[in-house]
Amino acid sequence: MQSKIKLKIPVLFLCALFIFVLLGSIISGDHSALLPKAQAKVNASMKSLPDFSKIKDVKEKKEAFFATLYPIIQAENNHVLQLRKLINMLKSVPIAKLNAKQQAWLLNISKNYKLENEYIDNDTFEELLKRVDYVPPSLALTQAAIESGWGTSRFAKQGNNLFGQWCFSQGCGMVPSLRESGKGHEVAKFDSINMAVRSYILNLNTHESYKALRENRALLRKKEASFTGATLAETLTEYSEEGHHYVSKLTEFIQQNKLQRFTTAFENTFDDITD
């Protein structure tokens, strides 16, 4: 199983080389270097999940689900870490020496991460670094499995919605059959599994309901401690109406399926990407 979830060496080498060249350009003052966009380009989108119901063996079905989603979670997290690395490098430059392109890039990232600042200051960097960080694959895989019923729910099949995310404009998604009278939310639809994962990570990194997750994660970073899916799951009482019971479901699921192995595998690939 370990070989299925590790990033291939050539891909990791190219990613590290890109970061090295880009950061070298920033440090040396070459401002012609292309700063990455807030949203990563998807090179190979997964338009829908496979039909896991065809797999009769329960253990095999679970592993197939995890192995299918993990590379997408890994790719989206890697892009977030790429942004984080560059934010940290720009933070080391005196604000007065940031050029127009660098400031515009930082403001664009800030906007994408739901910050309303109109200029760059030290608080911008502090808040950005709380938001621009990865979500442990163990947590992402757990919520995908629980919220989508292992990819079998109507919302997963018809809208690639694996994480139960809502949207709030008419026609933005699918109307829940049990939606209460007077409520206007819909269940969001996504063009691909990649976009569903990206939206989920951005949601945890920006929504006010998950501020505790970001604060907890930032604190663990300062202590140079690992933030596991089980640790961050404890902050997600507002993700579901089940509250603390939902948190218990998440942590038990992570433990029962030994999903920390995916977070560990991911962490073993980003030594050259993280700060």
| Number of folded domains that form the chain | 1
**How large is the average pLDDT for residues 18-30?**
46
Report whether 161 contacts 144 (CB < 8 A).
Answer: no
Q: Which domain holds residue 150?
A: 2-45+59-159+193-267
Answering whether pTM is above 0.95, one says no
- Per-residue pLDDT band at 178 (split at 50, 70, 90): low
Residue 164 maps to a domain: no
Residue 150 maps to a domain: yes
Residue 10 maps to a domain: yes
**How large is the average pLDDT for residues 163-174?**
72
**How large is the average pLDDT for residues 166-170?**
68
Question: 17-21, 105-109, 168-172, 247-251: lowest mean pLDDT where?
Answer: 17-21
Contacts of range 85-90, beta carbons closer than 8 Å, 24 or more positions apart: 85/19, 85/23, 85/273, 85/274, 85/275, 86/22, 86/23, 86/26, 86/35, 86/36, 87/125, 87/128, 87/129, 87/132, 88/129, 88/275, 89/23, 89/26, 89/27, 90/26, 90/125
d(CA 243, CA 100): 45
Q: Is the pLDDT of residue 186 over 60?
A: yes
Residue 91 maps to a domain: yes
Residue 36 maps to a domain: yes
In the chain, how long is the greatest CA-to-CA distance? Answer: 62
Q: Is the pLDDT of residue 225 over 90?
A: no
Q: Is the pLDDT of residue 55 over 50?
A: yes
Residue 246 maps to a domain: yes
Residue 8 maps to a domain: yes
Residue 273 maps to a domain: no
- Per-residue pLDDT band at 144 (split at 50, 70, 90): very high
